[in-house]
Amino acid sequence: MKVLLLGGSGVVGQQVSQGLAARSEVTELVIAGRHRAGIEYTVQRLRSKGAVASPATVDVTDPDEVAAHAEGADVTVSCAGPFLARDASAAQGAIKAGVPYLSLGDDLTGTRKVLELDEAARIADVTVVTGCGFSPGITGLLVALAAEETRTVEDVEISIAASLLDSKGRATAVHFLTALAQPAGMVYDHRFVHEPAASSPRLVFFPAPIGWVETFRCGHPEVVSLLETYPAVRSLQSRIGLEERAAMDLARVAAGAGVGQSERLTRTMLRLSRPVRPVLDRVPPKGARCTGIRVDVRGRDESRSTSVSFGMADRFARLAALPLVQAAIELGTRRVSKGGVHTPDRLFEPRGFLASLIDGGLHVMRLEPGRP
Amino acid sequence: MPASSSGSEILGFDTPRSTIMVTFRAAPWAHQTCRPYSRPMLTRLLSAGAILLAGALLMWAARLLFHSMLPEPEGHWREVTLQELTAR
């Protein structure tokens, strides 16, 4: 199985490349991206471990260029963020080449653009999966798992605890500020509304070693994809918070001042704030050096109201890479194939997929009442 | 004696030893030009700004310290086993 990996030199991209190289199904890897030096470094690391890997310089925003490199591959995997401007163009390229495509796509607007390619993907009979990381991705699968118990789904809340010490990639930082700057699309009282992001603070309890984190509303793609799966949902929202509270306060101020509205402005701001970052890393409370997910689903089982909460805590790169690698194997080997644009929770069977993640070393946690 | 260019009137000269002393009688409006009102106003504004900034920083520090006074956990996290997931 030959894999074209876009954005293979980034933090998550390197983890994905190593994950793919370790799988027996993968025989050849093409590591593609904009920065030749980063790609060469990843390729050298893979070759030193015995993998068959080659570099390719690709502009992910050009669908024709992506299509030219995707020809002959069994699957195209994209870690090339930020996904606002890169997810749809890469998906277009893969559809053009007739090769299955999947991405980490975690941008609300970017996901909408990919979903618009559904008809083209159906006509070409190409399986496209967007949002195949941890949020969206694992979060949607955990909601599906919880929904099995609650029977009806009335309220869904997805919370993310990020850490400055864990996710140091520039694309991640740009995405974080964008999520806080975009209006937060959410479902409130059965209606889809837009509320100001970085508002409505609330403490959320995450699995150890994270604990309590102050979270805020944010614009995230789960709201769009889960609303299609559960159209009768009463409330549905995404929340995000940094474990480093001082940095979170500054990020909210920056988002309020308009940083995050454009990628260039966000990158400039991040460059200027680089000297401050070591100071922020030391201001208490310090982060737990890992990323947390929590999914709360409330529903009704016959006449009584039930609530199910699942969570996960692990290194950011592992949480994002493991589901992407597993999904790439499923699509590349054609074990799963369905023309059109999908989200993981609608394409994969949640129990089997989550079991494969547990097999890969992730821990799925469940919130139980009382003390252990 | 003619008034000086600054509007003050020179009353006389005295030269004890090496020092030349010049005595002035200030013009009635001289204090207005020599002590501009903008200077104390700027000082007052800067002081107020510094006090506000210090207050904001203190409140922010208190907010960060408040993080250690978090509520009791709302439950406990239990690991979902592979058997549990694949049981159905």
State ipTM.
Answer: 0.85
In this prediction, what percent of chain A has a pLDDT beyond 70?
Answer: 100
Q: Does A250 touch chain B (CB under 8 A)?
A: no
Residue B74, beta-bridge partner list: none
CA A8 – CA A32 distance, rounded (Å):
6
Which of A16-25, A148-157, A165-174 has the weakest average pLDDT? A165-174
Over residues A314-337, the mean pLDDT reads 94
Residue B24: is its pLDDT beyond 60?
no
Residue B18: is its pLDDT beyond 60?
no
Give me the pLDDT at residue B38, please.
56
How wide is the angle at C-alpha B63 spanned by C-alphas A240 and B74, nearest 5°?
55
Give me the pLDDT at residue A349, please.
93
CA A14 – CA A32 distance, rounded (Å):
11
CA A260 – CA A253 distance, rounded (Å):
11
CA B10 – CA B26 distance, rounded (Å):
9
CA A214 – CA A249 distance, rounded (Å):
10
Residue A276: is its pLDDT beyond 90?
no
Interface test with A, best of B79, B80, B81, B88 (most A CBs within 10 A): B80
Give me the pLDDT at residue B39, please.
62
Using a CB-CB cut-off of 8 Å, the residues of chain B touching A310 are 80
Over residues A260-271, the mean pLDDT reads 78
Bigger pLDDT: A280 vs A229: A229
Place of tokens 């159906």: A122
Place of tokens 């993310």: A160
- Is the alpha carbon torsion for A241, A247, A251, A252 positive or negative? positive
Using a CB-CB cut-off of 8 Å, the residues of chain B touching A363 are 79
Over residues A11-39, the mean pLDDT reads 91
Residue B19: is its pLDDT beyond 60?
no
pLDDT band of A269, cuts 50, 70, 90 = confident
Over residues A234-254, the mean pLDDT reads 89
Bigger pLDDT: A77 vs B7: A77
Bond prior to A63 in cis (omega within 30° of 0) = no
Q: What is the dihedral of CA A355, A360, A362, A366, to 10 degrees?
A: 10
Over residues A193-201, the mean pLDDT reads 90
Give me the pLDDT at residue A165, please.
83
Interface test with B, best of A205, A354, A368 (most B CBs within 10 A): A205
> Which residues make Cβ contacts (< 8 Å) with residue A316, sequence separation at least 6?
A11, A12, A162, A163, A166, A167, A172, A290, A291
Over residues A54-58, the mean pLDDT reads 92
Over residues B41-53, the mean pLDDT reads 88
Give me the pLDDT at residue A263, please.
73
pLDDT band of A99, cuts 50, 70, 90 = very high
pLDDT band of B22, cuts 50, 70, 90 = low
Over residues A337-342, the mean pLDDT reads 93
The whole model's pTM is what? Answer: 0.84
Residues 9-38 of B with CB under 8 A from A: none
CA A323 – CA A190 distance, rounded (Å):
31
Mean pLDDT score of chain A: 90
Check if the beta carbon of residue A8 is closer than 8 Å to that of residue A104. Answer: no
Q: Do B64 and A245 touch (CB under 8 A)?
A: yes
Name the residue type at position B76.
H
Give me the pLDDT at residue B28, please.
58
CA A72 – CA A74 distance, rounded (Å):
7
